[in-house]
Every structure is written in C-alpha cells, then in structure tokens.
Amino acid sequence: MTALLVPAGEGESEYLEKKSRFLGRVWRVGSEAEARSCLEKTRREHYDARHHCWCWRLPDGAERASDDGEPQGTAGQPMLAVFARRNVQSVFCVVTRYFGGTLLGTGGLVRAYTKAAQDALENAGIAALREWALYTVPCPYALFERAKLELAACGGTLDGADYGACVTLRAAVPADAAADFLARLRELTAGSTEAVPAGTVFRPEKSGNLQQTFTNL
C-alpha cells in the first residue's frame, strides 16, 4: 500500500427525522482500542440516548459494525458502506439516536444512519497519507553531504543523525522511491554501506493536513 485516505480531523453532524435525532461523529483512529475509547466517550456523553450505532475501518483492513439494538442491517452496515465507498480507513464513526416516538421503518433507518455518517465525514474532511519507508544509514563523514543530496533527490527527508565513529542518518523516503534511494546509496558508497530498514510510516501528502501518523514496525 502506498496511499491511505483518512479523516482529516473530527467531524460531527445532526440529522432530524420525524422527531428522532441522529447525532453523527467521526474520528481518525489507528487501533481497535482507540475506536472503543471513542465509543465509550460517546456513551458517557449521551447516556440517555436509546442507540449508539457504530462502525470502524482500521489501517490493517479490519472492519466491524454494530446496529446496537436497531433492526439488523439498518445502521452499522449502511454506515460502514459510507466509508468503504470512499475508501476511507483509520476511521471510527458512531451515530447516536434519540428516539422521537415514531417508527421510521427499515428504509427510513437506513437513510437516517447513512445521512448522519455522510455528513459527519464531510465535516471532518478527507486527507491522503503517503507511505514512507524508514531507514538508518551508517555513513562515513566524508560522504555525509553527498548522502543527503541523494536522499533529497529521491524526495526523502533527513529525520535526524547520530554522530559517532561515523554518521548514522535517520532517513525517510517515499515508499515508491525506496528502491531508487538504495541503489543510489550503493553506488555512492561502492556497496560499503547498507541501509537498515526501520519500518514504515504514513505521512500527509501536503504538510499540515494531519497532526498524527501511523507507524508499522
């Protein structure tokens, strides 16, 4: 995977249907634990609501949805489909319903939960993350500046350096440029230096879109 679409931030919505209130909320999450924490927060804040229907899509591809007492298939799965259609991951959504006294029927419930999830996602916005490969690179001092130039030529960044008997670069390179960077490094050092993989990370396509990245080690 070289790209990931995620909520750009938190989003909220409110939808009214026959006096029932549907309150949608969207968060960017990186794990099931984070998603469950958001759900518990919502349940505490809206302890008097009848239903808290939810869904999540995580970076590892895991998906889950719950109707939380609504008729089967009328809430969680329609909400999940909102994010699947847009290919949005790392997302948790909960729609809280305050019952208005009038039954909406299967179709009405599907429309209401879908609308609340859609509006919350639109208010959160969608950001694109790009996959970067991380390396530690031992490098002779004499080649330090040239190694930085080769890294920059591949669109990479120097995340830091440790200074000892040699310089050890902490390099980040767009995943689709990693092979080019490794080839340039081998040529520069005549094969005497080997970059050590240090995992991957997802970073915003444009600076400032997101404040958090998800790391896979």
pLDDT tens by residue, 83-136? 999 999 999 999 999 998 888 999 999 999 999 999 999 999 999 888 899 999
Domain layout of the chain by residue ranges? 3-124, 131-216
pLDDT tens by residue, 127-173? 988 889 999 999 999 999 999 999 999 999 999 999 999 999 999 99
pLDDT band of 197, cuts 50, 70, 90: very high
pLDDT tens by residue, 25-73? 999 998 999 999 999 999 999 999 999 999 999 988 899 999 999 999 9
Count the neighbouring beta carbons within 10 Å of the beta carbon of residue 144. 15
Q: Let me know if 209 is exposed, middle or buried by CB neighbors in 10 A (0-12, 13-18, 19+).
A: middle
Question: Residue 73: which region, alpha, beta or left (left: phi > 0; alpha: psi -120 to 50)?
Answer: left
Residue 151 CA to chain centroid, in angstroms? 26
Find out if CATH 3.30.70.240 is the number for domain 131-216: yes
CA end-to-end distance (rounded Å), the chain: 15
Looking at the domain 3-124, which fold is it?
A: Ribosomal Protein S5; domain 2 (3.30.230)
Percent of the chain with pLDDT over 90: 80
The DSSP symbol for 6 reads E
